[in-house]
Amino acid sequence: MSAAVEGEVRVFAEYERDFTEEADVVVVGSGPCGAVVAHELTARGKRVVLLEEGPPFTPQDFELDGALSMTRMMREAGLRTTRGTIIPTMQTIALGGGSLVNSAICVRPPDFVFEGWEEYAELEGTRRSDLDPHYDAVEAFLGIALTPDELQGQRNLLFRDGCDALGIESEPIARNVRGCRGSGECFTGCRARAKQSMDISYVPAAIKAGARVLTSVQVQEVLSDGRRATGVRGQVVEPFSGRRSHRFRIDAKAVVLAAGCMATPVLLQKSGNLANGSGQVGRNLQFHPGIAVLGIFPEKVDPGFGATQGYQSLAFLREGYKLETLWAPAAILAVRFPGFGHDLKKRLAQVPYAANWDAIATCHRSLGTVRARRGASLDPILTWNFDPEDAQVLGGALYQIARIFFAAGAKTILPGVHGVPDEMHSLEEADVLRTRRYAASDFVTASNHAFCTTRMHGDPAKGVVDPRGRAHEMDGLFLVDTGIFPRCTSVNPMLTGMALAHRSAQAVADEL
Amino acid sequence: MPSAWGLSAGLFAATLLGWAVWRVFGGFPHAKRPGLVLAARELAFLAAAADATYPEGGSDLPSGTQAGIPAYADRYVAAVPRSVGILMRLLFFLVEHATLVFSAPGRGGRRRFSSLSPEQQGAVLEGWRTSSLFPRRLVFSSLRAILTMGFFSDPVVLRALHLGAKQIDSPIVEADLLYPAIGAHPRTIAYEREDLVARSGVPLAADAPLHPDHAEQMQ
């Protein structure tokens, strides 16, 4: 029985028995990278099957409560953490992947990031100028544009004002939105349907061009015949419960893995340690650890209104961090307030006056691994260690955020770091953020930007894929998620992942 | 035949064990409503922790139990994978019973958390929060996050702070012709191509910013 016909999407309620499919290309994962490849190949006339383990979410499926939303849309209920240094990290399980619940930030990294890639990983053809045509194509398709002032809200504009007062370069963030209303609901699903997440942009376009899209299907093994990838197999899974049922197999001339930086290496490991002669599959895990500081202003900020993340500063990228504004649900803002009882309840009245800004750090020294578990689970075992020098970089970022807050007129900041006062009322008080020697455990940090676990490298002995995502050791196997980055991007990675995927689509088409 | 000494020692040990079991598991108030997954003793702990963090009175905001924190935590534990739920329940158990070993300050401090006075409960939580040991701070952060999320899930709290969710109509887009609600069959998709603009009354390019004072949508 064929499970899908061209130009259709299948959902859990439609699977009745085991099935097999044939295609030119099977793409595993419908996040930003997989969706781009599926669309580009379908547009070139290839027969494409796009597989996604999660279901499609419609506005009536969105849950506004952040915690309950995570239990529905994230693997391991959004509570996945690393061993070693504990850092929470999330992975979405939904059609459209992380694009459904990210804040739509689209940034091209500066030249020096790519120059670093070329030097570090002995690459050719990965300069910014090589990738610009692919960035252009993705930006045009998604309507990526700078966030206008009228959608920023005070939370974002105060950041701009603080940067301006200090002479720090800042800029509105470019986002993949059309018709944004500043509702600040990017993280739980855009009810205004303004965010151009993959489920309402690239995936429908691929379907219209003839792609077959199967949702609620879990790929458990990549099939191969000698050096050639020949397809995938797995099982249908029920949304939310993850209960497995019917089996399926997709035979294809090419297999494209876009399951994400954590799932792709697990899949390769579970498939007989495929494409891992270099021993690099699952190694070199990098994050952009992030920290947030809360600032309290004398005037109302209305932190719920405005683009989820509308302003950023790239001025400190060479020093190892990026500064940006951040929306957070009221509960997360309130968690930062110290104290208990009546004192705490009085402080909660300050929530409407609060703004939340954050930093993400480039941490090349802090590395980890992704390993498959024994048994049937596809959840990874993650290990990561936060290097003390990288922790110091994050401390420097904290101080810069404090400077910007006070320059913007904040009366109090709450840095949320162990070992320093809960509240600071002046830049002089905040000076300890600059001078303190930090331990990794001083920070409450998190990261949803993850990289490098199947890295590209010019030398097949040191990497898993070439610059076009083609596996060094296998024919017909391509990897196209952020796992192939040789090092982190220092800025939000979605757009770069999509640009690389856009380029890889041509390489896949050439090989067929 | 056991000796008289052995019998006495056995009886003493059994009494001690019974006392310890009672201290850990006994004497909890019955829950008004049974939890989805949490036991009465866990709901009692959550109620104590909720009211220690957000007591009654002092502002327009409700108390932790009035805001429904224990029921929220119960729903949350029920929604997460079983292995994660077990860890969360262990966390509740740990904080509830740690004061049987590490006494809370003040008279009668060697009791379960839920049996301590509000001042002692506050002091205990502050001890977890400011501990020099990272795992203790992590336990506190996790508990505090659950309590706070539960508190802010109450529409009364959100309304009092003017932080309620905005009423937003979702425009119909092409994807709505493709995907049914989760668990439903595609034949339940009600939209047609002509609905892309008309049905919701919200144009596709809804580019007008949503004003912060937009009417709040409350349950």
Interface test with B, best of A90, A202, A344, A345 (most B CBs within 10 A): A345
Q: Of A58, A61, A445, which to mutate for an interface test with B (greatest number of B Cβ within 10 Å)?
A: A58
Mode of pairing for the β-strands spanning A19-28 and A244-257: parallel
Q: Which residue of B126, B185, B204 is in closest CB contact with A14?
A: B185
Q: Report B:3-22 residues touching A (Cβ under 8 A).
A: none
* Token reading at A105: 């930030």
H or E, element range at A333: helix A330-335
> How close is the nearest chain B Cα to the Cα of A29, in Å?
17
Which amino acid appears at position B87 of this protein?
Answer: L
Q: Please, what is the Cα angle at A57 between A55 and A62, to 5 degrees?
A: 135
Burial (CB < 10 A; 0-12, 13-18, 19+), residue B91, is middle
**Residue in A closest to B122 by C-alpha:** A340
For residue A182, give the nearest of B59, B148, B209 by CB distance.
B209
Distances (CA, A) of A166 to A12, A159, A292, A324: 54, 11, 20, 15
CA distance A151 to chain B (A): 6
Q: Is 90 exceeded by the pLDDT of residue B12?
A: no
How high is the ipTM of this complex? Answer: 0.89
Query: Distance (Å, rounded) from C-alpha A252 to C-alpha A26?
Result: 6
Is A204 within 8 Å of B125 when comparing Cβ atoms? no
Min mean pLDDT across A481-485, B11-15, B41-45 is at B11-15
Interface contact B184-A13, CB threshold 8 A: yes
Q: Give the tokens for residue B161.
A: 């702070």
Distance CA A99, CA A207 (A): 18
Q: Which range in B93-97, B155-159, B202-206, B207-211 is most confidently predicted, on average pLDDT?
A: B93-97
Confidence bin at B202 (pLDDT 50/70/90): very low
- Tally of CA atoms within 13 A in the half-sphere of A415 that contains its CB: 31
First to last CA, chain B: 70
Nearest-by-Cβ selection for B54 from A72, A305, A345? A345
Q: Which residue of B has its CA nearest to A79?
A: B84
Identify whether the C-beta of residue A406 lies closer than 8 Å to the C-beta of residue A357.
no
Name the phi and psi angles at A96, rounded to 5: 100, -10
Closest CB to B212: pick one of A179, A207, A305.
Answer: A305
CA–CA distance from B26 to each of B23, B44, B89 (Å)? 6, 12, 17
pLDDT, tens digit (0-9, with 9 covering 90-100), for A391-412: 999 999 999 999 999 999 999 9
- B residues 156-195 near A, CB within 8 Å? 158, 161-163, 165-166, 168, 170-171, 173-176, 178-186
Measured between CA atoms, the residue of chain A closest to residue B127 is A339
CA A31 from chain centre, in angstroms, equals 9
The residue in chain B having the minimum alpha-carbon distance to the alpha carbon of residue A353 is: B161
| A-chain residue closest to B137, CA distance | A418
Query: What is the model's pLDDT at position B163?
Result: 83
Q: Do B53 and A183 touch (CB under 8 A)?
A: no
Proportion of chain A above pLDDT 90, given as a percent: 90
A304 touches chain B (CB under 8 A): yes
**Does residue B87 contact residue B70 with C-beta atoms inside 8 Å?**
no
| Confidence bin at B20 (pLDDT 50/70/90) | low
Average pLDDT of the residues in A147-167: 96
CB < 8 Å to A150, chain B? 209
**Mean of pLDDT values over A459-464:** 97
Q: Is B61 on the interface with A (CB under 8 A)?
A: yes
CA pair distance A78, B155, nearest whole angstrom: 24
Closest-CA residue to A134 (of A511, A496, A507): A496
- What is the structure's pLDDT at A336? 87
In this prediction, residues A66-80 reach a mean pLDDT of 92
> Which residues of chain A have a CB within 8 Å of the CB of B178?
9, 56, 204, 207
* B54 CB within 8 Å of a chain A CB: yes
| Cβ atoms A275, A453 nearer than 8 A | no
Nearest to B152 among A180, A305, A331 (CB): A331
Comparing CA positions, the residue from A15, A411, A284, A115 lying closest to residue B183 is A15
Our CA-based measurement puts residue A133 at a distance from the nearest CA of chain B, in whole angstroms, of 27
pLDDT band of A5, cuts 50, 70, 90? low
* B118 touching A (Cβ < 8 Å): yes
Range in A137-141, A249-253, B26-30 the model is least confident about: B26-30
pLDDT digits (tens, 9 = 90+) for A85-105: 999 999 999 999 999 999 999
What pLDDT, on the 0 to 100 scale, is given for residue B171? 84
Q: Which of residues 353-412 of A touch B (CB under 8 A)?
A: none
High-pLDDT (> 70) share of chain A, %? 99
Is A146 an interface residue toward B (CB < 8 Å)?
A: no
Q: What confidence tier does B164 reach under pLDDT thresholds 50, 70, 90?
A: confident
Distance (Å, whole) CA A100 – CA A91: 11
Q: Which residues of A touch B181 (CB under 8 A)?
A: 58, 60-61
Mean pLDDT value of segment B56-83: 93
At A382, is the pLDDT very low, low, confident or very high (cuts 50, 70, 90)?
Answer: very high
Around Cβ A267, how many Cβ atoms within 10 Å?
25
Task: Tell me which residue in A181, A338, A444 faces B210 most closely, judged by beta carbons.
Answer: A181
* Interface contact B206-A192, CB threshold 8 A: yes
Instruction: Provide CB contacts within 8 A for A296, sequence distance 6+.
Output: A350, A353, A354, A410, A411, A412, A413, A414
- Do residues A409 and A297 make contact, with C-beta atoms less than 8 angstroms apart? yes
Chain B interface includes A88 (CB < 8 A): no
pLDDT at B205: 44
Q: Please report the pLDDT score of residue B30 as a whole number.
A: 65
Q: Do A334 and B151 touch (CB under 8 A)?
A: yes
User: Is B78 at the interface with chain A, CB within 8 A?
Assistant: no
Residue of A nearest to B180 (CA): A58
Biggest CA–CA distance in chain B, Å, is 92
The CA distances from residue A450 to A33, A95, A364, A387, in Å, are: 14, 19, 12, 16
For A323-332, letters b (16+ CB in 10 Å) and e give bbbbbbbbbb
Q: What is the CA radius of gyration of chain B?
A: 25
